[in-house]
Structure 1
C-alpha cells in the first residue's frame, strides 16, 4: 500500500506528483521510504487536463508535489486539479508542495493596474482545497502571508553552503549580492562561511521590460579574493552574468555562483558558460534538461530537505527546527 502508517496505526501519508518533475518526486518518495500515489494524468486534444488517483486517499494526509517550470500555466492547472481530486476523494489534509512558487516575482504592484499574481496563486490553491503550502526560498518573504493557512518556507541555504564550503578557501572569500535587495541573504551566507566581507553589485532595471537589468559596478572588497555570488533564482542569467563580469573586472581571484532555483530560460546556458564563473551551483527544485546543462554546472538534490519537512508536518513536528535547532 502506498504511504506511511503512523505508530498509532491511524494516520496515513500519501505523496502525489504532477508531471513537471517526476524525478524529484521519486527522490522524495525514496527518501521517505514510500511509493508515489498511482496517478493517471494526460491532456485532451484541446489542452484540457485529466487526472485521477489509482488508490483510495480517504482520511489520508496528502502531499501534492509539482515543480512550476515551463509551461508554468499547464503545471499550475494540473496541480490545482490534483488538489481538487484529493479534496473530493475525502483526503483529511492536503499540502501543496511547490518548490519553486509560481508567479513568485509578481508579489507586489510596481505600477498601477497590475495584478498581484503571487497572491492569486495562493487564493487558487486555497479555493481548490489546499490546507497548507510548502515552498523553498520564496522570492519575497511576504508571500507567506498571501495564503490563508500554514506556509512552510524551507531554505536551501544549508545545502548550498555545505557544498560551497568545500569549493572555496573560507579565509579568503567575499560573498557578493547581485543587487542591493539581496544583501540580507548575503549577510547570512557570509556568517556561515566564516564572517568574511560583503559586497554588492549596483544594478539598474527598467520595470517595463522583463528580464532586462544592467550591472554597473561592484561595491565592496573583492580584489584578489574568491567571490561567491548568491541569489534565489537564475532565469535568463542576465543579472548573474553581469555580476560575474563586474566582480572579475574589479579584480576578483575567481567567482562561484550559488542559487536555489535554476529556471534557466534562454539564453541562460550560453551566458553562464561564457560569463567567467568557475562554477554555477543550483538545486533541483526545477528540472534541468540535458541541453541546458554545461560543464561548470553543479546540481544539488533538494529531495532530502523536502522529505524531512514532509515527515515533520505529518508527525506534527516542527519544520522550523530543521533550520535553527529549536522546536
Structure 2
C-alpha cells in the first residue's frame, strides 16, 4: 500500500504521460504553476503543501531540451525549499545521455554535468528509462532506478509472433541490447556495421547474421533523424529480409527523420511515449510506459524492490 504522503508533479515536457501515470496509480497530479516570463526565464510555484512529503517530479528532457532541463532543476529546487522529505526526479527520457565520454579532444562529458546539476538542485533519487549508456548510473552519488522498456515492447510483440524472427542491432554498440531482446523473444541475432558520414548521415556497410527470408526487428534506444535505422533497414532489404520493424524506446524524431521513414524501408516503427509523439499518418505505433513508471513510483514510495518490473512472464 502506498504512503499517503506521495505527491506527483509535472513540468511541461510531457504532461500527458504524467497524467496517465497518476491515473494508473490513482494519485492526483499535483498543482504547480510552471510557466515562463516574457524574456524566457522559467518560473515555478508549487501551489500545495509538500512539507515532509515524498515528491516525484516527472519531466523528459526532450526539445526544447535546455528549457525543459532548467524547468526540472527549478522544480526540484522549489520542492527542496518547501521542505519536501524526499525528491525523486523522474526522467522518462534522459537528455544528453549520448555525451557520456570524451571521444574527441576538448569536449565535455555533459551527461555527468547533468547528473551533477540534478544533485545540486536537490534531487535525492532518479528514476529513468533506457539510458543510452548504462554506466551513466555511476555518474550519480544518489540512488538511480533504471527501468527497461523491453517489457512494454514484449507485450506488444508477442501478439504478432514470427517463426523466423531475427533481432538486429543497427550498430555494434547496441549488440548487448539486441541480445537481450533475442533471448526474450527466443529469436536469432544479428547486427549491422555502420560508418557515420556526418551527424545526420549514416552508411550501413555489412551485416553479421542471416536475415534472408526472415522477419527482422531492429532495436535501438533512441532515434532523431532515423538515419541509423533506415540505413540498416535498406541494407537488410538488399539481403532478403521480409517484414522489418524497428523498436526504439525514445523517438525524438525531427523533420529529416519523418522524411526518411516515408521511404518505406521500415514497415513499422514501434516506440514509447517517453517523448510526446505525433505519428503524422506514418506506420508508427506508440506504446505507453505509464504503467511501468507508475508501478516503479509506488514501489519506491513503499521502499519495495523494483527488480520484478524487469521480469517477463515465462522467463
TM-score (ref. length: structure 2): 0.96
> Using the alignment, how far apart are the partners of 2:2 and 2:33 within structure 1?
24
1:75-94 aligned within 5 A: 75-94=68-87
Specify which structure has the bigger relative contact order, considering alpha-carbon pairs within 8 angstroms and separated by 6 or more residues: 2
1:197-216 aligned within 5 A: 197-205=188-196, 209-216=198-205
Asked whether the 8 Å contact 1:244–1:275 carries over to 2, the reply is: no
Aligned to 1:174: 166
Aligned to 1:36: 29
How far is the alpha carbon of 1:283 from its aligned partner? 0.4
- Structure 2 unpaired stretches of 5+: none
Other structure's SS at 2:106 match: coil
Are 1:156 and 2:149 counterparts?
A: yes
> Using the alignment, how far apart are the partners of 1:173 and 1:226 within structure 2?
5
How far is the alpha carbon of 1:198 from its aligned partner? 1.1
Asked whether the 8 Å contact 1:273–1:294 carries over to 2, the reply is: no
Aligned to 1:50: 43
Are 1:117 and 2:119 counterparts?
A: no
Are 1:221 and 2:210 counterparts?
A: yes
- Structure 1 unpaired stretches of 5+: none
Correspondence for 1:316 among 297, 303, 315: 303
Asked whether the 8 Å contact 2:7–2:30 carries over to 1, the reply is: yes
1:1-327 aligned within 5 A: 6=3, 12-169=5-162, 171-194=163-186, 196-205=187-196, 209-289=198-278, 292-324=279-311
How far is the alpha carbon of 1:5 from its aligned partner? 6.5
Asked whether the 8 Å contact 2:170–2:232 carries over to 1, the reply is: yes
How far is the alpha carbon of 1:272 from its aligned partner? 1.3
Asked whether the 8 Å contact 2:8–2:22 carries over to 1, the reply is: yes
> Using the alignment, how far apart are the partners of 2:159 and 2:281 within structure 1?
21
Asked whether the 8 Å contact 1:173–1:227 carries over to 2, the reply is: yes
How far is the alpha carbon of 1:184 from its aligned partner? 1.0
How far is the alpha carbon of 1:293 from its aligned partner? 2.8
Per-residue deviation, residues 258-288 of structure 1 (Å, max 9, x unmatched): 1100100221112112142221100000001
Asked whether the 8 Å contact 1:58–1:91 carries over to 2, the reply is: yes
Q: Which moved more, 1:213-222 or 1:299-308?
A: 213-222
Per-residue deviation, residues 102-160 of structure 1 (Å, max 9, x unmatched): 20110001011110000000000000000001110000001000111100000000111
> Using the alignment, how far apart are the partners of 1:123 and 1:231 within structure 2?
27
TM-score (ref. length: structure 1): 0.92
> Using the alignment, how far apart are the partners of 2:171 and 2:294 within structure 1?
32
> Using the alignment, how far apart are the partners of 2:292 and 2:311 within structure 1?
14
* CA RMSD, Structure 1 to Structure 2 (Å): 1.4
